[in-house]
Structure 1
Amino acid sequence: MHSGMTDVTFQLRYGSNLTYECSLAADRVVASHLPPPALTDLPARLSEALAAPLEFPALHQAIVPGDNVTIVLERDTPQAGALLAAVWKEIASRGVAPDHLTVLQPASYRSQPPTDPRDALPADVREHVTWKVHEPATEVECAYLASTAAGERIYLAREAVEADFVLTVGELAFDTLLGYRGTSSSLYPGLSTAEALRRSHGQGHDELSPDDQRPLRELTDEIHWLLGGQFSLQVIAADGQNVSAVVAGQADAVLRHGKKLLAETWRFEVPARPELVLVAVEADAGGHHWSQVAAALDAARHIVARDGRIVLLSELEEEATDGILMIRDARTPRDALQPLRQAAPADLIAATQLARTIDWANVYLLSRQDHDLVEDLFMIPLEDENEVDRILDGDEPCAVIGGGQHTLTHLQNR
C-alpha cells in the first residue's frame, strides 16, 4: 500500500497468484488491514526458537537418547515441512533415530487429505520416519489417557499416549470455536474418537471474543497437561503460505506470547461501520476453499454496515459442499441456520458464516464459481476485476482487508 495527497493505493493478493490494485480517496478509507510481512530467514528463526525456547530448556536437552518421539502436526500449518525439518535437526542431535520418530496428524471432517510433510527431511531419513493421519473410527487406534476433572474419560491416539516425548506443532490463529487455535488444540478432538469429534462439532460462538471462556479450549489444555505434553512449536501466518513469526517453548508461555502476536498482526479494529468492505482471500496452507472464503466474509460482516456491500476477491472453484447446498435450497439465508445446526454437515462452520453474512449484507463475489450457483446462494457474481472497479467507483466510506480468512475484526469500544 502507498498513498498520495488525495488517494491511497492498495495491492491485494488473492487466489493462487493474482493481485488486484485499486486507488481510493483517502477520506473514504475508514481503515485498512494487510497481512504481516513474511519471515525471509525462516530456517534461522526456527533454529533460534528451538535453541532458546520460552520457559523451557533447549529442545535437544529435553530429549533422552533412544526416546520414542511423536510430533503432533496440525493440519494446514504454514511451512509444515520446514518446521518438521527444524525439529528433526534438534532431536537427531540427541541420538533419536528416524524410526523412533512419528509424525501424527489429527482427523478432520474436511475431505481434503493432508500432504506428506516429510518431503523436507533428508532422503535417508524420510523413509524411516512414520507419518500417520489419525483414524478416529477405529477403536483400536485410541488408548485410554485419563479422566478429566469433570470425570470425562479421554481416549487419544496410541502414538501420543505411548510416546516418551510429545510435542505439538501448528499455527496459532483466531478460531470461532476455540477462541484461539494452536498448542493443545491439535490433540483433541482430532486425535480422539469419532464420538469426541461429533460432540465438538459446532457452529462457532459468534457472541464471544477470543479471550472469553471457551469450554472446548479449556478441555484441550487439560488434556495436554494430562498427556504430560509441555513443548510446543507454533507459527503465525503471513500472506499466502508464508510465516510471519515463530514461537517455541513451554505450551502455556507459547500461547500467551502467541496471543500478543496475533493481536499485533491479525486483529483489525475500525472506528465505525463502513458502507463497503473490500476483502481479499489468498490461497494459504489449507488451500483455497469455501472455508477460507466464508471466514473472510465473516470478518467483513463484523464491521460492515447493515445492508452494506462486501466485495470479495477470490479464485474459488471448489464444488459447493453439503452445508453450502443447504443455503442454496433455503428460502432465505436465515432460514438455513437452524437446519444447518440440526444436520451438522462437515462444513457447518463455513456454511454458518456464509449464511450469516449474506443475511446481513450484500455480497459481491469474484470467483470461478458458476454464476447461477452464486446467485442461488443470494450473492452477486462478478465477472472480472473491471466489475470490482465499477463497484468501488463511489464515495461511500469503505474498509479494506487483505488475508481476510485470518483476520479478526471488531469495532472500537465494542
Structure 2
Amino acid sequence: MSQYLRYGKDSALRFDVPSETLVADCTAVPGQVLEDPSARVSACLAEPLGFPPLARAIVPGDRVVISVDPNTPQPCEIISGVVRTLLAGNVRPSDIVVLQTRADVGHSESLARTGSDGVEVVHHDPRDRSQLSYLAASAEANPIYLNRHLCDADFVLPINLTQPEASFGYGGIYGGLYPTFSDAQAPQRFRAAVFGRKAGPRQRCCAEAEEVAWLLGVQLSVQIVAGPGNTTLHALAGLADEVARRSRELVDAAWSIQVPRKASLVIAAIEGDADDQSWENFGRALYAASRVCADQGTIVLCTDLKRKPGPALRRLAVDAQDAELRRQIRHEKSDDAMSASLLLETRNQQRVCLLSRLAEEVVEGIGVGYIADPRQVRRLSEQHDSCILLANAHRAAPHAMLAEPV
C-alpha cells in the first residue's frame, strides 16, 4: 500500500514503504476539520462554557481588544467570527481593536467584508516603547510590559492556539497572549527556560502567562485546536479553566501520538501556506521528529521553506566548539534562537536533512543535509530498515513506547 505525505501548500510525497519497515504512518489526523470556522466561533461565543453569552458580558462603550495568537490557523475566519459576534451584540466597530504580531492585509480585508470598517487592526512591535505600558510586577518580581491597548482595554478576549504540553516551546494556555504582546525582554526569559529543558522554569513561565491574564481581568477566552495544514479542528470559548481543560483533551486526541518504537529514519513534513513555512515551525517539527528518531538516525524535514536563516541559525556556520556556539545563541535576541539551539543539540544525535526552496549553500551552511528533490527522500526511505512518516510535525507531539528500533 502506498503512503502519502503532504508538505507545503499543495505538495505531496508518495512512498511505498514495506510494512515490515514502516514503524508508524502518522499522516492522518483524527476528526473532521471545520467547514466554517467563523460560524463555529460565533456559535461558541453565543454559548460559552461556564460563562454568559459574550453579548451579555460587555457593557455599551466598553473598549474590546482581541489578541490573536500568531500560530492560529485560518486567522481571518477566526477573527471575523469574533468580530461578527461583537457587532451583533451592539459593540461599535470603533470600540474594537484586533491586536496581532505582524502586518497581514488579509486580516484587514476579511474584517472589511464583515461590514466592520471601523475596527482598528494593530500590529505589535515589542521594540517600540511607545506601544508599551507597564502592567505590574510578576510574582517572580519581573516587570510586565504589555501592548498599551491591552492595558487600556475594558475587555480583553484572547484567541489562543492550544498545543500539546510536550510540544517544543510550549507556553501554556495563554502563551499566545504573553509574552507574545510584551516587550522584547520577556520572550528572552521564556526562551532561556526552554533552552534549559527543565520542567521548573517552563512551569514558572506558564504560571507567569496565567498571572498576566488574571491581571488583565481575562475571564473568557477562545481556544483553537489546529487541523492539518492551515485548517481548524476545534474552536471553543468559555471560562478559562473549563475551556483549557476541554481544549487540552481535544489537542491530545489529535496531536499526542504514540508510536511502537523509534525508527532509524523519520520523514516529517510541515504542511501549510507561506506563514507556516517558518524557522519557528522548523524547530517544532525537528523537535517532534527527534523524539521518535533513534540515536545516530536520520531526520528528513519536508517543507516549502524559503526564508533565509536568521542571525542565530547563521551562527551555526561558524567553526567553533558547541559550548561556545551555545553561549552565543543564548544571547541572541532573534526569533530563530530557539530553533538554532535545538538544531545544535540535535545534529550531534541525529543526521538532519532538509527539503526546501532554499539554495544548497544556505542549507549546508547551518550544518543540515541538503535534499534537492522528493526523489532523494524516496531513495532514503529505501535505505533504512525502519521508518516513521510524520505529517504536520510542527503540530505533533509524538512519543515512542520503546527507545530503539527492534
Q: After TM superposition, give the deviation of residue 355 of structure 1 in Å.
A: 1.8
Residue identity in the other structure for 1:31? A
Relative to structure 2, which stretch is displaced further, 332-341 or 220-229? 332-341
- Per the TM alignment, residue 199 of structure 1 is displaced from its structure 2 partner at its CA by 3.3
| Residue 252, structure 1, aligned to residue 245, structure 2 | no
**DSSP 3-state at the match of 1:24:** coil
* Alpha-carbon distance, 1:39 to partner: 1.7
Is the counterpart of residue 44 in structure 1 residue 35 in structure 2?
no
Q: Does 1:23 align with 2:24?
A: no
Q: Which moved more, 1:162-171 or 1:390-399?
A: 390-399
Gap runs ≥5 in structure 2: none
CA contact (8 A) 1:178 1:217 kept: no
Aligned to 1:134: 124
**Given residue 407 of structure 1, which amino acid in structure 2 is its aligned partner?**
A
How many percent identity over aligned positions? 28
Shift of 1:116: 5.0
Structure 1: which amino acid aligns with 2:181? L
CA distance in 1, matches of 2:153, 2:333: 34
Contact 2:193–2:202 under 8 Å retained in 1: no
Superposition map of 1:159-170 within 5 A: 159-170=149-160
- Once structures 1 and 2 are overlaid, which stretch shifts more, 320-329 or 42-51? 42-51
Structure 1 position 12 matched with structure 2 position 1: no
1:354 equivalent among 323, 343, 353: 343
Q: How many pairs were matched up?
A: 400
Distance 1:41 1:299 in 2: 29
CA distance in 2, matches of 1:349, 1:267: 22
CA contact (8 A) 1:179 1:212 kept: no
Take 1:334 and 1:268, find their aligned partners in 2: how far apart are those partners? 33
Q: Which amino acid aligns with 1:173?
A: Q
Q: 1:61 to 1:355 in 2, by over 3 A?
A: same
CA distance in 1, matches of 2:369, 2:138: 49
Is the alpha carbon distance of 1:341 and 1:155 closer, same or farther for their aligned partners in structure 2, counting shifts above 3 Å?
closer
* SS of equivalent residue, structure 1 residue 271: strand
Q: How does 1:239-278 map to 2 (within 5 A)?
A: 239-278=228-267
Deviation of the 1:365 alpha carbon: 2.0
One-letter code aligned to 1:339: Q
Q: CA deviation at 1:122?
A: 4.2
Q: 1:58 aligns with which of 50, 53, 61?
A: 53
Contact 2:111 2:117 in 1 (8 A): no
Q: Cα–Cα, structure 1 residues 145 and 35, in superposed 2: closer, same or farther, change >3 Å?
A: farther
| AA of the residue aligned to 2:93 | P
Q: Which residue of 1 aligns with 2:181?
A: 191
Partner residue in 1 for 2:138:
148
Deviations 1:353-380 (A, max 9, x none): 2222222111232222222333333332
Secondary structure, aligned partner of 2:276: coil
Give the 3 Å change call, closer, same or farther, for CA 292–177 of structure 1 in structure 2: closer
Distance 1:178 1:225, change over 3 A: farther
1:258-407 pair list within 5 angstroms: 258-284=247-273, 286-331=275-320, 336-394=325-383, 396-407=385-396
Determine helix, strand or coil for the equivalent of 2:6. strand
Residue 220 of structure 2: aligned partner: 231
Q: Do 1:77 and 1:285's aligned partners in 2 also have CA atoms closer than 8 Å? A: no
Q: Aligned partner of 1:58: which letter?
A: P
Alignment check: 8 A CA contact 2:37 2:81 kept: no
Name which of structure 1's ranges 266-275 and 227-236 shifts more when overlaid on structure 2: 266-275
Question: Residues of 1 paired with 2:96 and 2:145: CA distance?
Answer: 21
**Matched residues in 1 for 2:362 and 2:187: separation?**
31
2:63 is aligned with 1:68 = yes
Bigger shift: residues 390-399 or 164-173: 390-399
1:94 aligns with 2:89: yes
**Bigger mean CA deviation after superposition, 193-202 or 307-316:** 193-202
* SS at structure 2 position matched to 1:247: strand
Question: Quick one: distance in 1 between partners of 2:297 and 2:323?
Answer: 17
Letter in 2 for 1:200: F
Cα distance in 2, alignment partners of residues 238 and 165 from structure 1: 29
Residues 213 and 373 of structure 1: CA distance in aligned 2, closer, same or farther (over 3 Å): closer
Q: Equivalent residue for 2:170?
A: 179
Structure 1, unaligned runs of 5 or more? 1-7, 107-111
Sort the Cα spacing of 1:308 and 1:195 in 2 relative to 1 into closer, same or farther, 3 A.
closer
Q: Report the Cα distance in structure 1 between the residues aligned to 2:274 and 2:224, rounded to whole angstroms.
A: 12
Query: What's the secondary structure of 2:295's corresponding residue?
Result: coil
